[in-house]
Amino acid sequence: MKLRNLSITAAAFALAFGLSACGQRDAGAPPAAAASASIAPAASVTLDASANASPSAASAPAASSEAAPAATTAAAADTPNPGGEKVFKSVCFMCHQTGAAGAPIAGNKDDWAPRIAQGKPTLYKHALEGFTGNKGTMPPRGGNPSLKDNEVEAAVDFMVAKAH
């Protein structure tokens, strides 16, 4: 019985600690303009890698190069990011596993659909800078100011992929 009470107390402490960051702004966090300036959609990163493509790919019509980002983005959205899973399991799960503070539950299509419809740049911005909406609060960087932009974005990509 004593071990059970200790386990419950430890779990309650962990949840309280995790939620204590909700809604707080970190004074050391970069200004909104600096954080959003470094955001690049996954499709443009993938397209940069194609710069070394064969000459025949370079001579393809513009219409086909415009279709490539959509296909790349769709494929990326369906593949969970392993780096994002690590961040999710260490930080994000505290709210996104339980729905605490109104967080959309990872893997719940209904929770994520309206957010996904806003587009990845908006999701990245809210995750990096924080956001308070009608349904809840997202603390900047999930309450962990030491997370790098690409780690936060990878966690967003991971959760979006789980919702598809």
Ordered by where they begin, the domains of the chain are 82-164 (1.10.760.10)
Binned at pLDDT 50, 70 and 90, residue 135 comes out as: confident
pLDDT at position 122 is 97
Binned at pLDDT 50, 70 and 90, residue 78 comes out as: low
Position with higher pLDDT, 8 vs 138? 138
Binned at pLDDT 50, 70 and 90, residue 53 comes out as: very low
Average pLDDT over residues 24-38: 42
- Over 90: is that where the pLDDT of 146 sits? yes
* Tokens of residue 133, six digits: 């909406």
